[in-house]
């Protein structure tokens, strides 16, 4: 790797058909830009975890190929995966070992990790997830939030270029969710690409720069989050909605719709203040003007059709 | 935008790295800088993290946007489109730790091996198993001592009691033979059946493989520790038996099956050979357990599987109608060490046994490897 790969994760036609014939992942083309925080969304059972397992080489794709950090898999696994921190389908550790001993175990399994710096790296990882005080407690005595944080700590054991987190906030209370969100921001702030799967839209909306949306094994949307929300609408409230609608059409806005005293249109490249000026100049009384952003949830319902957990 | 993430980013991360770990690491362009074996570590060029350009204010960009655009570390006014050239995203990588990869495969393997040893020998359940195995020679030593001193006296009990009364070192052979009936196979079944299936059941297998521990490497470490456990269990039983024999019975020069008498140390040496032979027999059975362990996510299934094979084999070995297959059974040579108590030593039984154990070991380790390296880990 002489240069940093443009895509931290890339797949082409990645497909997994289980032995029962179930098509869990159906030819997805992932493109996770280096440096992004990529939210991997979809209802439960839409193939997110299966995809992550394929990316990490835990299960073999039925067809298709994928690269991790620019290295083709599975040939490049030994080289690429040490640079990838991951938490797959919830934390799993040895219940009779302490949090610290569990991290030491994983570090010992890593043939490329330096044992001399292990102690410091473990302390730093525990510190970052706020588990130093509970480091010597047995894992079985951990609360769900602590277990989840220990899982994230494994991905921080070394300097990573990519961190893959599968449902990191699953089962956490709002406080724990906030902590995890803040952790993900910190990881991303270090320049690490973060690939985070979730079925919690609010989570993704707050931390992600890019999203991919899965529905029954297919990637139905992928791109910058802003693009997904990008079709910002303009909403004008006026006692003379007909005139307002006419002016908006005249200045080239599309998708003009009128409901009662409210007129809405696609904002497009124009600035709201310019539109306001045109309206006022045309003598349209403007009682209110706003640019409501569509929530991710609205997009979702559109992309995944049914209610989010209905599939 | 939260201030905490900003301050975290501005801290020079390499300042937290201990000096001795700076030998090499990942340099700014993502290349792994690896010290050559034997040479002084090359100090990797570290980009000045603290000085990296930052944008003080981003008008019109929502809070959620800042978090992500900051990850690029480059001045940016908003979203990086997916097709932006990679050159626009300078990345910082601090020297993390000196990769141990180029020191050769053995040190890394040994480290993983010792970790596995600690895991197996530190697990309360396994320690309880060893405790039970250790209690058996103590228990039987006392029982036999009481039987010998009972009013019926020597000659009233089984033949081995007379031998024991004659020489306490035979306690080790009696106990090993008794334990081979059930308890030792059970212990090996627990350890080997749990090896992969236990990790799968806990969910720790996916974590290990994502490290990546390497499937062949993980399997080799697991089997090596099974072998160590077999040897440790057998040695422990023999040593405790010898001590109990020394305490409870008369001990002296050992009379062999061929009638020759050898000094005590030579007799103990032969008992040690038997111990190692039994450990090898059990390690071979452990290969079957390892293979069973790769076939299921439930350790109990693998443990039961190996026990069924061993008990089935022991029973079949006693059925005269099956004499044609007796010598192919995995347990057929488990007690074929009597040749070691002849002078000169008759190696034929032991040699057949070792060949049988080797064949079973190779076949079942191969099955385990073929299954495990191609299996989907969905636990």
Q: Are B79 and A206 in contact (CB < 8 Å)?
A: no
pLDDT for res A3: 53
Chain B residues whose beta carbon lies within 8 Å of the beta carbon of residue A161: 26, 30, 91, 93
CA distance A128 to A106: 17
Q: Are A154 and B207 in contact (CB < 8 Å)?
A: yes
3-state DSSP assignment of residue A121: helix
Chain A residues whose beta carbon lies within 8 Å of the beta carbon of residue B126: none
- List pLDDT tens digits, range B163-189: 777 788 889 999 999 999 889 999 999
Q: What is the mean pLDDT of chain A?
A: 85
| Cα dihedral A113, A117, A118, A121 sign | negative
* Percentage of chain B lying above the pLDDT 90 cut: 51
B138 Cα to chain A: minimum distance (Å): 29
* ipTM score assigned to the predicted complex: 0.80
Q: Which fold has domain A232-290?
A: Alpha-Beta Plaits (3.30.70)
Is A193 a residue whose pLDDT tops 50? yes
- List pLDDT tens digits, range B127-143: 999 999 999 999 999 99
H/E stretch holding A84: strand A84-87
Residue partners of A157: CB distance under 8 A and separation at least 6: A85, A103, A106, A107, A110, A113, A121, A122, A125
Chain B residues whose beta carbon lies within 8 Å of the beta carbon of residue A96: 122-124
Mean pLDDT of B286-313: 94
pLDDT for res A295: 67
Q: Are B30 and A53 in contact (CB < 8 Å)?
A: no
Is B91 a residue whose pLDDT tops 90? no
pLDDT for res B93: 43
- List pLDDT tens digits, range A216-226: 888 888 888 87
- List pLDDT tens digits, range B154-163: 455 567 777 7
Residue in A190, A196, A232 to test binding to B, most B beta-carbons within 10 Å: A190
Helices (H), chain B: 3-10, 63-69, 105-122, 124-149, 159-166, 170-181, 183-202, 204-210, 215-248, 264-294, 299-318, 348-374
Mean pLDDT of B347-352: 92
The backbone torsions φ and ψ at residue B80, rounded to the nearest 5 degrees and listed phi first, read: -85, 120
B98 token code pair = 């000196």
Q: Are A190 and B9 in contact (CB < 8 Å)?
A: yes
Domain boundaries, chain A: 7-228, 232-290
Q: Which of A53-62, A117-126, B14-23 has the lowest average pLDDT?
A: B14-23
Q: Are B5 and A108 in contact (CB < 8 Å)?
A: no
**Pairwise pLDDT comparison (A28 vs B162), residue with the higher score:** A28
Q: Which of A91-105, A174-188, A194-208, B148-162 has the lowest average pLDDT?
A: B148-162
Chain B residues whose beta carbon lies within 8 Å of the beta carbon of residue A154: 207
Q: Are B79 and A189 in contact (CB < 8 Å)?
A: no
pLDDT for res B28: 39
Chain A residues whose beta carbon lies within 8 Å of the beta carbon of residue B206: 53, 56, 58, 88-89, 92
Residue A205: which of B64, B82, B203 has the nearest Cβ?
B64
Q: What is the mean pLDDT of chain B?
A: 76
A231 with A299: CB under 8 angstroms? no
Q: Which of A236-250, A263-277, B43-57, B310-324 has the lowest average pLDDT?
A: B43-57
**How would you classify the pairing of strands B254-255 and B261-262?**
antiparallel
pLDDT band, residue A75 (cuts 50/70/90): confident
B281 Cα to chain A: minimum distance (Å): 29
Domain boundaries, chain B: 1-102, 104-374
Mean pLDDT of B292-313: 94
3-state DSSP assignment of residue A34: coil
Chain B residues whose beta carbon lies within 8 Å of the beta carbon of residue A120: 17-18, 21
Q: Are A159 and B207 in contact (CB < 8 Å)?
A: no
Q: Which fold has domain A7-228?
A: Rossmann fold (3.40.50)
Q: Are A82 and B209 in contact (CB < 8 Å)?
A: no
Is B276 a residue whose pLDDT tops 70? yes
Q: Which of A228-242, A275-289, B90-104, B289-303 has the lowest average pLDDT?
A: B90-104
B42 token code pair = 């090359």
pTM of the model: 0.77
B242 token code pair = 């010898």
Q: A309 vs A6, A23, A199, A221, CA distance in Å?
A: 33, 19, 8, 17
- Angle of helix A144-155 relative to helix A99-109, nearest 10 degrees, comes to 30
Chain A residues whose beta carbon lies within 8 Å of the beta carbon of residue B89: 4, 33-35
pLDDT for res B105: 53
| Cα dihedral A80, A85, A196, B68 sign | negative
Is B6 a residue whose pLDDT tops 60? no
Residue in A100, A112, A130 to test binding to B, most B beta-carbons within 10 Å: A112
Is A176 a residue whose pLDDT tops 90? no
């Amino acid at each position: 790797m002489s240069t940093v790969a443009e895509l931290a994760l890339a797949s082409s036609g990645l497909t997994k058909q289980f032995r029962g014939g179930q098509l869990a992942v159906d030819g997805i083309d992932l493109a996770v830009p280096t440096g992004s925080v990529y939210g991997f969304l979809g209802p439960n059972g839409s193939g997110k975890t299966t995809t992550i397992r394929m990316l990490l080489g835990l299960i073999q794709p039925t067809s298709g190929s994928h690269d991790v950090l620019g290295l083709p898999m599975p040939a490049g696994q030994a080289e690429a995966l040490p640079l990838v921190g991951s938490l797959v389908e919830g934390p799993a550790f040895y219940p009779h070992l302490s949090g610290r001993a569990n991290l030491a175990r994983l570090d010992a399994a890593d043939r490329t990790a330096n044992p001399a710096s292990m102690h410091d790296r473990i302390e730093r990882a525990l510190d970052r997830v706020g588990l130093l005080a509970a480091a010597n407690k047995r894992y079985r005595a951990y609360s769900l939030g602590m277990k989840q944080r220990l899982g994230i700590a494994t991905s921080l054991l070394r300097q990573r270029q990519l961190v893959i987190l599968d449902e990191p906030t699953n089962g956490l209370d709002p406080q724990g969710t906030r902590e995890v969100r803040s952790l993900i921001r910190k990881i991303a702030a270090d320049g690490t690409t973060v690939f985070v799967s979730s079925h919690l839209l609010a989570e993704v909306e707050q931390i992600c720069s890019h999203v991919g949306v899965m529905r029954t094994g297919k990637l139905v949307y992928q791109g910058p989050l802003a693009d997904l929300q990008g079709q910002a609408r303009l909403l004008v409230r006026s006692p003379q909605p007909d005139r307002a609608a006419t002016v908006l059409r005249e200045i080239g806005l599309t998708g003009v719709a009128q409901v009662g005293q409210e007129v809405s249109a696609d904002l497009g490249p124009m600035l709201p203040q310019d539109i306001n000026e045109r309206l006022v100049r045309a003598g349209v009384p403007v009682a209110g003007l706003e640019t409501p952003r569509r929530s991710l949830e609205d997009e979702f319902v559109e992309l995944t059709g049914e209610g989010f957990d209905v599939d | 935008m939260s201030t905490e993430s900003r301050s975290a980013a501005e801290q020079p991360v390499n300042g937290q790295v201990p000096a001795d770990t700076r030998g090499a690491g990942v340099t700014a362009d993502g290349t792994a800088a690896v010290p050559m074996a034997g040479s002084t570590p090359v100090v990797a060029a570290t980009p000045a993290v603290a000085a990296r350009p930052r944008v003080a204010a981003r008008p019109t960009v929502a809070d959620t946007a800042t978090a992500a655009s900051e990850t690029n570390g480059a001045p940016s006014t908003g979203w990086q489109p997916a097709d932006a050239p990679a050159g626009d995203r300078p990345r910082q990588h601090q020297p993390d730790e000196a990769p141990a990869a180029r020191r050769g495969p053995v040190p890394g393997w040994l480290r993983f091996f010792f970790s596995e040893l600690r895991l197996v020998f530190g697990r309360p359940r396994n320690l309880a198993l060893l405790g039970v195995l250790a209690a058996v020679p103590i228990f039987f030593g006392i029982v036999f001592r009481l039987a010998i001193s009972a009013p019926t006296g020597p000659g009233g009990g089984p033949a081995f009691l007379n031998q024991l009364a004659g020489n306490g070192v035979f306690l080790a052979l009696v106990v090993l033979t008794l334990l081979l009936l059930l308890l030792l196979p059970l212990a090996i079944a627990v350890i080997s059946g749990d090896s992969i299936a236990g990790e799968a059941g806990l969910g720790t297998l996916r974590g290990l493989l994502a490290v990546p521990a390497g499937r062949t490497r993980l399997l080799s470490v697991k089997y090596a520790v099974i072998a160590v456990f077999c040897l440790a269990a057998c040695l422990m039983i023999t040593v405790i038996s010898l001590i109990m024999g020394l305490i409870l019975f008369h001990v002296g020069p050992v009379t062999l099956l061929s009638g020759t008498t050898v000094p005590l140390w030579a007799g103990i040496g032969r008992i040690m050979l038997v111990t190692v032979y039994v450990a090898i027999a059990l390690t071979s059975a452990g290969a079957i357990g390892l293979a069973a362990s790769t076939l299921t996510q439930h350790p109990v299934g693998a443990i039961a599987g190996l026990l069924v094979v061993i008990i089935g084999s022991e029973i079949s070995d006693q059925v005269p109608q099956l004499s044609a297959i007796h010598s192919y059974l995995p347990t057929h040579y488990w007690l074929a060490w009597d040749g070691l108590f002849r002078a000169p030593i008759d190696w034929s039984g032991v040699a057949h046994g070792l060949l049988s154990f080797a064949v079973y070991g190779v076949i079942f380790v191969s099955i385990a490897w073929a299954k495990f390296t191609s299996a989907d880990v969905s636990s």
